[in-house]
Structure 1
Amino acid sequence: MRIADLVGQRVAIWGFGREGRAAITAIRAQLPALPLALYCSEAEVDAARAFDPALTVHGIEPDALALSACDVVVKSPGISIYKPAVTTAQAQGTVFTSGTALWFGGHPDARVVAVTGTKGKSTTTALLAHLARSLDVRTALAGNIGLPLLELDGQSADLWAIELSSFQTGEAGPLELAVVTSLYEEHLDWHGSRERYVADKLRLGDRARTLLVNGQQANLLAQTAGHPDRRVFGDAQGWHVADGFIRRGARDVFPVAQLGVPGLHNALNASAALAALELLGYDALAAAPALATFRPLPHRLQPLGRRDGLDWINDSIATTPPAVVAALESLPGREISVLVGGYDRGVDWAPFVTHVQAHPPRAIVCMGANGPRIEAALVAGNVACPVSRVADLAAAVEAGRAATPAGGVVLMSPGAPSFDQFKDYAERGRRFATLAGFEADVTGIDGLGIR
């Protein structure tokens, strides 16, 4: 569906976050006379009316009856397509679309590589854009990484590096290349089950001529075996990591120690970006030296600096237990107090418990709504390090500070969403920075937009 197809339709926007505002702006630019309704929270009503006085604003969550009165609803990504009100309205004929779908509908000829995955998708997408730009390719970096596609509506680029979440993968149009960095258990509250999460995530491959996947994940290889043009990164024949180098087959290409982001998992992300660049026909070997100048994304193993004799690392983006394991593995030989916990989605913490049984950190501080459940799992696993439980992030920071020796690391890698205490992971990351004694403005992502 294109924005032009909304002419004569009864259209509502559902959600007044950045995606919702981008949709309103883009629709107004093309169809200024089209009546638009908006469903948002009661607290957002005044801001919405100030943003666009022509909107009909409803400060409520729409029910099936309200949604069924619309021909088209442009919903924000965080609103599940499996909500009963949505499925009921769909059965009555309401079409649900999104800013992502509208952008793809309006840009059928764009050269797109879309990246998804439970973890690594943001860094891989940003790395891909950074590498392409090092070759003087005019590249757009947008999508779930922090810039809605519709904010770039009407602009052109030679390559579009787009991150898509599992909420958005089914909304993509036809594309040249899809990349899946990893596949774990996440967002079960939105998708309803692990099976549906996996199926929704991999819908991106159905849209892509070529599919590039992580060859180190057997489950991902099995799930994508039927794709007509599946390629692999992370194995010894292609781009992979071995013996301290990012390699292309048997050739050492780039030392992992010189990579601008820490951790072997980020070296694997860099391998994915290089493999994608090569599949697109660019000179990945010529681009590889630019890996040294890539800056870590905020809230993703982001070093904040040293305070009180301790190194503080913000990994607020970590919303699954395997992500915490990856964070710990990226800091070998360090004395680490790790702060874990947040909103409880009921995911299994066994991978984390197994890891810290074999590699206990200096201390583990459990916080938030699922803190008691994590603590119980650690105690049952007889983890050989101090385990404590606190109510909130402020108390967790103090506990981490007290437990960590001089020269050690306080790592916030929650392994859970932030919604029990914060609006999103970015707000949580900013709060952590402030509590640790740093500037709260740690949100800027280098390279968003078209360059």
Structure 2
Amino acid sequence: MRISELEGKRVAIWGYGREGRSALAALRWRLPSQPVTVFCSHDEAEPLREMQDPALRIETSVNAEMLAGHEIVVKSPGISPYTSPAADAALEGVRFVGASGLWFAEPRAGRRICITGSKGKSTTTALVAHLLRASGARTALAGNIGLPLLELLDVQPPPEYWAIELSSYQTGDAADVDVAVVLNLFPEHLDWHGSEARYYADKLRLVTQAAPRLAVLNAGDQRLVELDVPADTRVLWFNHADGWHLREAMVYRGDVPVLDARHVALPGRHNRLNLCAALATIEALGLDAVGLAAQAHSFRPLPHRLQSLGLRHGIESVNDSISTTPQSAIAALDCYRGRRVAILVGGYDRGLDWGIFAERIAAEPVAAVITMGQNGPRVFEKLKPLSLGNRFFLAEAEEMEQAVKLGLQVLGHDGVLLLSPGAPSFPRYRDYAERGRHFAQAAGFDPELICAIPGLGVA
């Protein structure tokens, strides 16, 4: 649905985070006198009132009946359409759209590269943008990575390429996609999607529904191998011997060694596979990926993703606050094999199975596991039998400061203090970035120096 089609309709915006703010700004830019209702929190209402906009109605509570008074609701990504009141309002005929969906409906120049996956989508999207810019192309980096697409609604001159990260909440918004990239699939956000099967189906809408001209897929993920790709979509595989893949730390294109990834700021096998995906994407666009591969050396890693904060008293503190699944916590541990590690895990409890994490700890014990957050007690009980005989130190912490203190005590003057929670940050924190800043502060580093995502916007 294009923004112009909202004119004269009963329109609401539900949620006034950054996506909601971008939606209201876009409506006011294109339709300055359009009546709009904003459903928001009490804290968000005050800056809205300060606008003194006579066509703006502010509601600090929401239910299905209130939503049903509108024809179209621009919904924030974090609000699930599968639960009340959204599901009830949809039965009453309310049409829900995402802010990203409004952007995708607008005609624009530039090729659209959309990237999703259960892990690694931000890094891969940033890598694609970095490599495209290194080729001399004007490129936009936006989406779920931290810059809503609507904030780049009328950017001039238009970029040649759009590198867009999409979460599973947003993949259904995508349309007219040139290249769709899916990195991997494992259970995530089950509270939003309602089931594992629906999560996979929603995630894969980027390929099955958006009708991309080309899909870049991971040959190492069986669900992607078995995916019924639309007939008009050509597939380019990475993580396959015929394409871009890894042999130890060396990046290969077919049988040709191209880049030693040990000298790139992308720790861990999963990050190096992200580089393979990015190079496969560059190749899919018809560019010289082999020639551009060396540009990965100048890539600046993103904050909160295995981000080394530095050394203090012999201890390296690593901020991996973006980690929201047990699998991602395991991937983080894999990066520090051979070193003494105290890992801090736990957060919002989505009911995910921590059995695989327990198996990893049983097979390769670490120096310490400190649990915290809502699911901390459940993870603690899962690991407790494994800690018998002092195989590793196990403790529960009430707050970040206590968790950091316990980890540092165990490590002494040698090792890695690793925040890789394997769980979302809420309700304790607003988002993973706030959690990462808190960890940095507790570990003795300046939290304001670790936050900027390099390259957002158009360059």
Q: 2 CA distance for matches of 1:135 and 1:173?
A: 26
The alpha-carbon distance between structure 1 residues 378 and 172, as it changes in their structure 2 partners (threshold 3 A), is same
Residue pair 1:180, 1:212 contacting (<8 A) in 2 also: yes
Tell me what 2:214 maps to: 210
Tell me what 1:233 maps to: 238
Tell me what 1:385 maps to: 392
Q: 1 CA distance for matches of 2:333 and 2:227?
A: 28
Matches within 5 A, 1:428-439: 428-439=435-446
Q: 2 CA distance for matches of 1:366 and 1:105?
A: 44
Deviation string 1:385-425 (CA, Å, 9 cap, x unpaired) is: 11111122121111111111323110000000011311110
Secondary structure in 1 matching 2:422: coil
Question: Displacement, 1:226?
Answer: 6.2
Matches within 5 A, 1:409-448: 409-441=416-448, 442-448=450-456
Secondary structure in 2 matching 1:438: coil
Tell me what 1:177 maps to: 179
Which stretch of the first structure deviates more once superposed, 210-219 or 249-258? 210-219
Question: Displacement, 1:37?
Answer: 0.9
Question: Displacement, 1:225?
Answer: 5.7
Secondary structure in 1 matching 2:96: strand
Superposition TM-score, scaled by structure 1 size? 0.97
The alpha-carbon distance between structure 1 residues 76 and 273, as it changes in their structure 2 partners (threshold 3 A), is same
Residue identity matched to 2:427: D
Which stretch of the first structure deviates more once superposed, 385-394 or 290-299? 385-394
The alpha-carbon distance between structure 1 residues 436 and 205, as it changes in their structure 2 partners (threshold 3 A), is same
Which stretch of the first structure deviates more once superposed, 406-415 or 91-100? 91-100
Identity %: 46
Secondary structure in 1 matching 2:279: helix
Question: Displacement, 1:224?
Answer: 4.6
Please, which of 282, 294, 299 is the counterpart of residue 299 of structure 2? 294
Question: Displacement, 1:52?
Answer: 5.8
Tell me what 1:56 maps to: 57
Consecutive aligned runs of 4 or more in structure 1 exceeding 6 Å deviation:
none
Tell me what 1:43 maps to: 43
Secondary structure in 1 matching 2:406: helix
Please, which of 291, 316, 321 is the counterpart of residue 311 of structure 1? 316
Unaligned runs of 5+ in 1: none
Provide the aligned length of Structure 1 versus Structure 2. Answer: 450
Tell me what 2:199 maps to: 197
Tell me what 2:410 maps to: 403
Tell me what 2:10 maps to: 10
Q: 2 CA distance for matches of 1:224 and 1:147?
A: 31
Residue pair 1:246, 1:254 contacting (<8 A) in 2 also: yes
Tell me what 1:354 maps to: 359
Question: Displacement, 1:48?
Answer: 2.0
Residue pair 2:321, 2:419 contacting (<8 A) in 1 also: yes
Deviation string 1:108-159 (CA, Å, 9 cap, x unpaired) is: 5541010001100000000000011000011100000000000000121100
Tell me what 1:79 maps to: 79
Two-structure CA RMSD over aligned residues (Å)? 1.4
Question: Displacement, 1:381?
Answer: 4.2
Question: Displacement, 1:308?
Answer: 2.7
Residue identity matched to 1:119: K
Secondary structure in 2 matching 1:398: helix
Matches within 5 A, 1:235-384: 235-381=240-386, 384=391
Question: Displacement, 1:252?
Answer: 0.9
Q: 2 CA distance for matches of 1:424 and 1:450?
A: 25
Which stretch of the first structure deviates more once superposed, 266-275 or 173-182? 173-182
Unaligned runs of 5+ in 2: none
Tell me what 1:449 maps to: 457
Q: 2 CA distance for matches of 1:195 and 1:51?
A: 43
Please, which of 218, 222, 225 is the counterpart of residue 221 of structure 1? 225
Residue pair 1:338, 1:363 contacting (<8 A) in 2 also: yes
Residue identity matched to 1:305: G
Question: Displacement, 1:234?
Answer: 0.5
Residue identity matched to 1:58: E
Residue identity matched to 1:59: T
Q: 2 CA distance for matches of 1:177 and 1:329?
A: 31
Which stretch of the first structure deviates more once superposed, 81-90 or 36-45? 81-90
Secondary structure in 2 matching 1:240: strand
The alpha-carbon distance between structure 1 residues 150 and 434, as it changes in their structure 2 partners (threshold 3 A), is same
Deviation string 1:162-198 (CA, Å, 9 cap, x unpaired) is: 0000000001112011111111111011111111101
**Quick check: 1:98 aligned with 2:98?**
yes
Question: Displacement, 1:53?
Answer: 3.1
Q: 2 CA distance for matches of 1:97 and 1:110?
A: 23
Secondary structure in 2 matching 1:175: coil
